[in-house]
Structure 1
């Protein structure tokens, strides 16, 4: 017998040794304390290329903004894009929104995690769920759902969550869209705006609330380019808030510390010419 060892099977040649790759970080938990002292527990996925493993500053700012201005969401229909842990959606639901649709990329773990945060939030309204035999089988939320959604995709499935009366002349769409800390994804600006255009109700009081921090200060101009593009597409854009956090979200991040601590909020609205009212299409809205 030859002293030369037999060649290993080819399918073993490309198998990395155990421990070759670092383990995926485990899921984490963080908390948000409401202005009334209640605590919302937020589960975060362990690691996500979609950055959903952080609770971003803009989410906290939006949640507090809703608490201080509950009429922003009470009785209104709300769609959150790129929700991550979904804090703004949870607060909107708790404050009495008519319907909240919490969305993020259709990754199984991410969608499951959003549902977990909904299921464990004691502040959102619920009703008893009855089984096929009429027996109660726990409870379920009455005004919030979770779904996977890719920015720029068809919004039909999102709009189906809204109660609609086909005989009504009321324009279809959401009263409020939430985009919290999404603008760092510069290549997705057009897709975000495409969704806004097709999901936002065409009325003057409907709006998209865009809140963000420039976590890469040297790219702030690219973040802000979103609003230039929104104006080009016919939206009215207005800066409505600015909040200075106590410290940057990530310690030792490079760049201007003041920019890293600053969260700003902007509203996108339809101009009068793009609105639908009383069953009539305004002159410039047809075919849009």
Structure 2
């Protein structure tokens, strides 16, 4: 009687194994260097590639960080700080270095982005001011804020400072960003949201700027504090006015007087 070789007949070998190089190699993380005004050298890990541009150290993030350091006594020291759309989290780290009481670094709740923020927070730990607490969390703009407020010493009070660097380019998210501001910014005359941005697509600047009248309609005052032309563009091969693509526009948003808690 012949031996049953059915198992041999079904042995497909490497038929269903993807050939080497079939899938593109996952881009490796890159790093960006940043020297603080006080002379500290920070090395920030950037995700290798991501549709939300977590692999970049944005111009507005750099400019915001410089502004925070120059004005640390007024804006940061002893304050509770929330960064929205943090990517590598440089402004959050600068806030923690300069004596913020609480810092919550957030970006979209994607594991790669959150893990990258956490690694940067851990790497910055030796530089963080004693008494400062730096936390990392995933957060989708417009969603409930219970988790990010839970890091506060007084969760019901809200944050003294919101950092929003290069986030309003996403026009469809304007209302969600404002909703997050309403839920998280302390109802105090001193509380402020910093909204810094660069028009990387200059022809869309009027659409981007619609964020500000929308914020006013929702209870905030808007003050432009400066604009700064940087030495280099972030995306060298992009079209449009180069000067605008090198410019960071800086705004402060505060609660309108009639929206404050008295």
Q: Indicate whether the TM-score tops 0.5.
A: yes
1:67-118 CA-to-partner distances (Å, cap 9, x unmatched) read: 1111211111100001000000000000000100000111112111111111
Match of 1:239 in 2: 224
Match of 2:142 in 1: 152
Shift of 1:192: 0.7
Residue 87 of structure 2 corresponds to residue 93 of structure 1: no
Question: Structure 2 unaligned runs (5+)?
Answer: 1-8
1:164 to 146, 154, 160: 154
Question: Structure 1 unaligned runs (5+)?
Answer: 1-5, 128-141, 166-170, 278-288
Greater fraction of residues in helix: 2
- Deviant stretches of 4+, over 2 Å: 15-24
Match of 1:39 in 2: 41
Q: 2-side partners of 1:221 and 1:261: how far apart? A: 17
RMSD of aligned C-alpha atoms? 2.1
Q: 2-side partners of 1:260 and 1:208: how far apart? A: 23
Shift of 1:23: 2.4
Match of 1:131 in 2: none
Q: 1-side partners of 2:260 and 2:87: how far apart? A: 31
Shift of 1:22: 2.9
1:226 to 211, 234, 238: 211
Aligned length, in residue pairs: 250
Residue 165 of structure 2 corresponds to residue 206 of structure 1: no
Match of 1:124 in 2: 128
TM-score, normalization by structure 2: 0.89
Q: 2-side partners of 1:89 and 1:222: how far apart? A: 28
Match of 1:80 in 2: 83
Residue 62 of structure 2 corresponds to residue 57 of structure 1: no
SS of the equivalent of 1:227 reads: helix
SS of the equivalent of 1:264 reads: strand
Q: 2-side partners of 1:126 and 1:68: how far apart? A: 20
Q: 1:16 to 1:194 in 2, by over 3 A?
A: farther
TM-score, normalization by structure 1: 0.82
8 Å Cα contact 2:98-2:129 kept in structure 1: no
Q: 2-side partners of 1:211 and 1:259: how far apart? A: 14
Shift of 1:260: 0.4
SS of the equivalent of 1:23 reads: coil
